[in-house]
Each structure stands twice: as structure tokens, then as C-alpha cells.
Amino acid sequence: MSATPAASSAPLSPLSFVHPTPDSPWGTYLMQVDRVVPYLGHLARWVETLKRPKRALIVDIPIELDDGSVAHFEGYRVQHNLSRGPGKGGVRYHPDVTLEEVMALSAWMSIKNAAVNLPYGGAKGGIRVDPKRLSKKELERMTRRYTSEIGIIIGPQQDIPAPDVNTNPQIMAWMMDTYSMNTGTTATGVVTGKPIHLGGSLGRVKATGRGVFVTGREAARRIGLDLQGARVAVQGFGNVGSSAAELFVQAGGKIVAVQDHSGTIFNGDGFDMSDLLAHVKDAGGVGGFAAGEVLDGEAFWDVPCDILIPAALEGQITAQRARRVTARLVLEGANGPTVPTADDILAERGILVVPDVICNAGGVTVSYFEWVQDFSSFFWTEDEINVRLDKIMVGALKKIWDTADRHQITLRTATFAVACERILTAREERGLYP
């Protein structure tokens, strides 16, 4: 058995057009794969499969703006691995989207889907754009053109997009309609996260946040952390962060700090969730909420808390910030929020991290339910959805925890071990063609 690679070693990308650093999204993913190699046994001969996306599509998206001018946007769709089934993963609209980021996100989707044992591979998409600068009509035109451009590789049995950062059910409806018009059939199963009346699933909007809560509840129980009175700090207060926060409050916890794009607020006694959610709905962010003390952005990482939920973007918990975290439990609601060097520091400090690839898998699990319901045209109640989700999440976490205990490794490495074994077993059994 080879030794675990040093955290400081820079991974080398086999892709000539990507030059990752250790803390970049793709670099982080490659280091995570390297750390799991000693636990793959004979399947390690296939590990290069995990380090190379199967397919990466870059598209130009020209649209006519409302003022009559023409603008061009760059879009991506990456299918990392399809050995276990069609690609599955969201589409994000953000000015910082890059090919490398989308590659990493697609790879994490491969791991996530396999960790929860869903019959999917991993994929991801994105457009480099600030959607807040577009009108609704411009946003629709951009979405429809993007869907047409990537239509050559998506489909209900090929690759199924879903909402991600700055995308929502309306955007999924436009994607579904565009694909359907181009194929001459109503293909509800081409995307998930759709409006309910277009084949969407009940429980989907809050599913990722619910998964964060369920895995957090199980982890807290295992480490003896009582949720009654537990102090929770949340970074990112969109669907994921706010939904998880609501459930922790219902379980007896209190939200003492929240940070989003509009500011950072603190209240040691805990925020009133109904008031905070109403403010966010009206103001578009937590900034300006009167019932909280305004903090400097960096001060968020020093807030005394028991549970920390990073639910914003990747790369937020750096080595420097990891030394300041006060929580006993970190629940990764975002994708890739902790860089590998920070992971090591948190482990050394005895802070348990429930990794993104299991912690935030509630969203893709209910997306799977939606996909299944669309094929059968038979839909479940929200209670049925939540019961099925909780059972899958608890069972997946138990297998991962047992693996971590058996090998004496972190939950992240254990999650990768379980997932990579499933992916590479499928790769080996399918063989190489031709």
C-alpha cells in the first residue's frame, strides 16, 4: 500500500489545456483522487479514468440583446464519466465560470452519484455570465441558445441537466421546452428541477438543504453533539443554506451567523428564521437585516459555533480559515468548499467534516426521483419523497462511515473510496470498446 500523497504536492493534469493549482477546483479534485488510490485494490489500474473527463464541450452563445446589439457568451457542458449511467449535474450562470471549474464540478457529480448509489454518471454545465445584468427576455434567449448548442450531447438517457448557482425552475422549463421543440417531442425527463406542473417533483427545491440536515443530524448523533441549542453558522443563504437552517432550527438549533453576497450578520441568541427569510426575499440578501450585528466578511470564520455550513461556492475554507474555525462539525452544502490543505488542518484539529459528495447529495437524489416519475408519469407526495430521501441518505452515510472506521480514514476519503470502487467496477466490467 502506497503512502497518502503529501497535501502540498501539486497534482499534474493529464489535460494539456488545463493547468491546475493545488487549491483550484480541478487540482483539489485530482488530489482527492490520489488520496483514495491506496484503497482501490486491483481497481487502481483504472484510476486514470477518473482523472480525465469523457467529454468536454465549449460553445459560443450569441444572442440579440434588448437594445438590438449582439452579445456573445461562453458556455460549457462537461461529461466526466458515464460508466454507471447517463450524465447528471446542474448548470450554473456566474461571471467566474471556467472550463476547469465545470470539469471539477462534473467529476464531483460522478463521485456524488456513485456515493449515493444512483444510476448516473457525472456531468456539469455553465455559462460565464452575470445573469443579474440580463433582462428576463435576454436570459431566456441565452438559455434557449445554450440548450440548442449542447443539445447534441444531452437527453433523458444521455445527460440530464438541473439547476445550480443562479439557475432555477423557470430556466429548466426553457431548457426542457427548447430540447423538446428541437426533437419534436415533449421530453420532460431531459432536465430535473422543473416547475411542478411541467413534471417537476415535490420536495425538490429544499432537497439539497434537507440532505445537509439529515447527514448533519446523523453525524451530530455519532459525535455526541446535541442539536438542542446547537449554534449554527451558515455561509450562503440560497435554497441550500436557508433550507438547512430552517430544519436545524426546527430540531432545536439556533442560527447565530449568516453570510452571503450582500453581507455578514451575527446574533448570539439566534435569528428569527421567519423574519430573516422575509427580509432576504424582499432585499435579495441578508445585508441590512436589523436584528443582527454586522460583521466584516472575514470575521465570519471566527464566529463561535458548533456547526458550520459552507453553502456558497468552492474553495471557501482555505488553510488560513481552517485554523480559525470554531465548529465541531462542518457540513459541506456547497461543492468543493474546502481545499485539501484545509481538510488536513480540520482533521488535525479534530473537526469532523461531512464532505460535499455525500452531504449535499439530497438534491440529485430527488432529481433522480423526478426523472423516474417523469418516465412513469406517476408522481409521489412530498411526504413520500422525504421518507425515500432520508432513507437513502442515512444508508449511504452509514456505509461511508463504516468504510472510514475500517480503514481509519476521513469521511471524505471514505466517500471517494466507496464511490470510486463503484465507478471503476462498472468501468472494468463494461470493458474497453473497441
For domain 207-359, the question of CATH label 3.40.50.720 is answered with yes
The residue assigned the cell 480540520 is 346
Please choose, from the candidates 165, 164, 166, 194, the residue with its C-alpha nearest in 3D space to the C-alpha of residue 178: 194
Measured CA to CA in angstroms, residue 202 lies from 3, 195, 206, 380 at distances of 46, 9, 9, 8
Q: What is the pTM of this model?
A: 0.92
Fold matches, 53-185 and 207-359:
yes
CB 296 within 8 Å of CB 175: no
User: What is the Cα gyration radius of the chain?
Assistant: 21
Give 234's strand partners.
Answer: 258, 309
Residue 112 annotated in active site: no
**Exactly one of 124, 194, 206, 254 is catalytic; which is it?**
124
The torsion defined by the Cα of 52, 53, 54 and 58, in degrees rounded to 10, comes to: -140
Q: Give the Å distances, CA to CA, from 252 to 61, 185, 247, 270.
A: 48, 48, 9, 11
Angle subtended at Cα 83 by Cα 77 and Cα 86, rounded to the nearest 5 degrees: 50
Task: Per residue of the chain (434 residues), give pLDDT as tens.
Answer: 334 444 444 445 556 667 777 778 999 899 999 999 999 999 999 999 999 999 999 999 999 999 999 999 999 999 999 999 999 999 999 999 999 999 999 999 999 999 999 999 999 999 999 999 999 999 999 999 999 999 999 999 999 999 998 999 999 999 999 999 999 999 999 999 999 999 999 999 999 999 999 999 999 999 999 999 999 999 999 999 999 999 999 999 999 999 999 999 999 999 999 999 999 999 999 999 989 899 999 999 999 999 999 999 889 999 999 999 999 999 999 989 999 999 999 999 999 999 999 999 999 999 999 999 999 999 999 999 999 999 999 999 999 999 999 999 999 999 999 999 999 999 999 999 98
pLDDT at residue 3, as a whole number: 43
pLDDT at 55: 97
pLDDT at 17: 65
Rounded to whole angstroms, the Cα distance separating 263 from 361 reads: 27
CB-CB contact of 433 with 82 (8 Å): no
For cell 500523497, the residue is 5
The domain 53-185 is classified under which CATH number: 2.60.120.620, 3.40.50.970, 3.40.50.10860, 3.30.2270.10?
3.40.50.10860
CA neighbours closer than 13 Å in the CB half-sphere of residue 22? 14
Q: C-alpha grid cell for residue 196?
A: 411542478
Q: Is the dihedral of CA 319, 265, 309, 337 positive or negative?
A: negative
* Domain coordinates in residue numbering, the chain: 53-185, 207-359
